[in-house]
Structure 1
């Protein structure tokens, strides 16, 4: 399994992503600078990490979504490659149209940083196959603009087609996201965007290892498809 991490000016979770991918695959991911026009040939998974790309100027992910590497990222998606966008990465994926909807300011208007209970809403995805449906997991969050919004028709499609792998636990929505959505997938299930940080829950020293299961799920999915 060959992986890559896109690095933008202002990324602060790119090294966490690198560590998580190395743990899961046993190989170092390629670190791809945002001005690069290509992604290494043969890459299976591209991770778009969290942080504050371009200092969140204009709005979160807006400038990063127009970086030179984005065209290569879209081509990667078009040929069926996997993409994982976390936090700011999720915001970038919505800005580029790779995922529907938008991430707005938290309903509280405050930055939220804490351990967060999630529910595995759909365990039948390439990213969640090693969880069980309705598993409760703990994954850190750290964001100011994680309030997921989409029109009702889009929300119905996402729910009806099993494209919401993770939701915030009932009564614990940290940002006001529609229908407690913590993450969504693309139509083909190979692009996942989520606000919580699974790459920060892989070694136990951060407070748990529930995030590691997601990366292991993806490795197994790629092994099966290969």
Structure 2
């Protein structure tokens, strides 16, 4: 269902042939689980409880809460909306309205939840890194980068794409082993130019200009 009108139709069409329609992009999605799977899920929630709290503190009002997911398989995290919040498609539709109500816009668009995949290597490594030092600057950068990437992959738009791009560039520098304080090529060229001695004949040229 990719047409804009689908959002309005599904909101009114609650059931189809006796089956309740459920949005997989919203909270409260219940997947069939046996007792063993439920027990493992509870253990994962306990294990990642501290990481969820750290991520919520970093993201502050960007999300309502951070929880451990049971719907993710290959992705490290995803953004879902609350039961009565707007989906990504609905948010895009409302942003395109010329006569939109900005007060409602801010309220409905704010109802986002971040779900993390406890079985993903990125989340597990981030948990270890955060527990070692939750004040590590790289932890904050990684959490925000994960959140913004999850926004994009979940169909939402970024409020400040340039900041997201700068954060990616910093991570690329980190991956390449480049120090943030290292001079750039332009800075190095400028420094070399300043240190170069004057060419022979410069004084003669200056004198000729004075004579002219």
Q: TM-score, normalised by structure 1?
A: 0.22
Higher helix share goes to which structure? 2
Higher strand share goes to which structure? 1
Asked which structure has the greater CA Rg, the reply is 2
Q: TM-score, normalised by structure 2?
A: 0.23
